[in-house]
């Protein structure tokens, strides 16, 4: 039993040290390797995920240290399950932050005016990414609790299909709005005509464009604006 306790302590110290050194490891060694690649996506991920990676390492170390003790009984099973769920939760947080980091990288219009307009889009994407992370954690958590794999697969498939069908219009408008900001360079104050509506651009939101027209503010769906708008050059 003594050597099991020693092994558990060594495991805990190793993973605790790893969790504390993640910013150094990712920001230093891995960051230097990422800096040599052609894309900046990996650099962006390295910058964003150091803290989340450290939390995953610590949760994994706690679970593995408890497993190393080799105890038996209901209490051991309960603690092991709770610690394993901790690994799942911290992993879901890591997934969430990775998705947000990727979104921020690909949507960046590289100018201050565009970044200011992206805030509502990032908030909406955070909601979507959070839902995906929660669903992933839920499925893995149920698996850790011993729920049948076939049932979990059916649950995940059903949830994925429902989400794909229900979110399709939202994602379409979100993508069109990002194209207007990043690709077409729309900024507040531009004079724009969409169909019969002509006005000054107030904002591009996740769902619709807001114009300040002669008879007041009007909103037009992003997808319609993307295909039918005329920008008046001044």
Residues 202, 125 share a domain: no
Task: Scan for tokens 């069908």, then name that residue.
Answer: 165
Joined together, the tokens standing for residue 31 give 């960051």
pLDDT at residue 34 tops 70: no
* 45 vs 35: CA distance, rounded Å: 12
Query: Which one of 167, 183, 199 terminates a domain?
Result: 183
* 213 vs 188: CA distance, rounded Å: 13
Residues 89, 204 share a domain: no
Q: How far is CA 68 from CA 74, 77, 78, 156, 161, in A?
A: 16, 13, 15, 32, 40
| Residue closest to 115 by CA, chosen among 126, 124, 129, 105 | 105
Query: Which one of 162, 183, 204 terminates a domain?
Result: 183
Residues 219, 111 share a domain: no
User: Other CB atoms closer than 10 Å to residue 137's CB: what's the count?
Assistant: 19
Find the range with the poorest average confidence among 2-6, 17-21, 43-47: 43-47
pLDDT at residue 42 tops 70: no
| Residue closest to 204 by CA, chosen among 191, 216, 220, 217 | 220
* 118 vs 121: CA distance, rounded Å: 5
Specify the CATH number for the domain of residue 198. 2.30.30
Q: How far is CA 229 from CA 52, 71, 130, 211, 223, in A?
A: 42, 68, 33, 12, 10
Q: How many CA atoms lie within 13 A of 17 on its CB side?
A: 6
Residue 124 is predicted with a pLDDT of 92
Residues 26, 107 share a domain: yes
Residues 155, 225 share a domain: no
Residues 75, 21 share a domain: yes
* 84 vs 145: CA distance, rounded Å: 9
Strand partners, 212: 200, 217
pLDDT per residue over 182-210, tens digit each? 888 899 989 999 888 889 999 999 999 99
Q: In total, how many domains does the chain have? A: 2
Residues 213, 166 share a domain: no
Residue 174 has φ and ψ, to the nearest 5°, of -60, -45
Residues 53, 135 share a domain: yes
pLDDT at residue 13 tops 70: yes
Domain span at residue 211? 191-232
Residues 173, 198 share a domain: no
Mean pLDDT (the chain) is: 83
Is 70 strand, coil or helix? coil
Which among 4-8, 39-43, 63-67 has the top mean pLDDT?
Answer: 63-67
Predicted TM-score of the model (pTM): 0.79
Higher pLDDT, 33 or 41: 41
Residues 131, 115 share a domain: yes
Residues 169, 62 share a domain: yes
| Residue closest to 53 by CA, chosen among 30, 85, 80 | 30
Residues 127, 203 share a domain: no
* 12 vs 57: CA distance, rounded Å: 10
């Amino acid at each position: 039993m003594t050597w099991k306790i020693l092994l558990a302590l060594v495991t805990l110290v190793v993973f605790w040290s790893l969790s504390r050194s993640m910013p150094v490891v990712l920001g230093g060694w891995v960051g230097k390797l990422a800096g040599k690649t052609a894309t900046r996506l990996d650099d962006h991920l390295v910058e964003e995920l150091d803290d989340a990676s450290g939390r995953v390492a610590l949760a994994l170390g706690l679970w593995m240290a408890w497993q190393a003790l080799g105890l038996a009984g209901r209490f051991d099973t309960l603690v092991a399950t709770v610690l394993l769920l901790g690994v799942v939760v911290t992993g879901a947080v890591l997934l969430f932050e990775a998705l947000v980091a990727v979104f921020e990288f690909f949507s960046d219009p590289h100018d201050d005016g565009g970044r200011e307009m992206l805030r509502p889009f990032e908030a909406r994407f955070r909601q979507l990414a959070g839902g995906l992370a929660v669903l992933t954690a839920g499925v893995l958590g149920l698996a850790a609790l011993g729920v049948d794999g076939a049932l979990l697969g059916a649950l995940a498939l059903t949830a994925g299909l429902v989400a794909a069908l229900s979110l399709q219009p939202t994602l379409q408008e979100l993508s069109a709005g990002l194209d207007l900001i990043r690709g077409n360079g729309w900024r507040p104050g531009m004079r724009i005509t969409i169909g019969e509506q002509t006005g000054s651009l107030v904002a591009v939101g996740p769902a619709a464009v807001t114009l300040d027209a002669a008879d007041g503010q009007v909103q037009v769906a992003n997808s319609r604006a993307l295909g039918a708008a005329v920008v008046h050059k001044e």
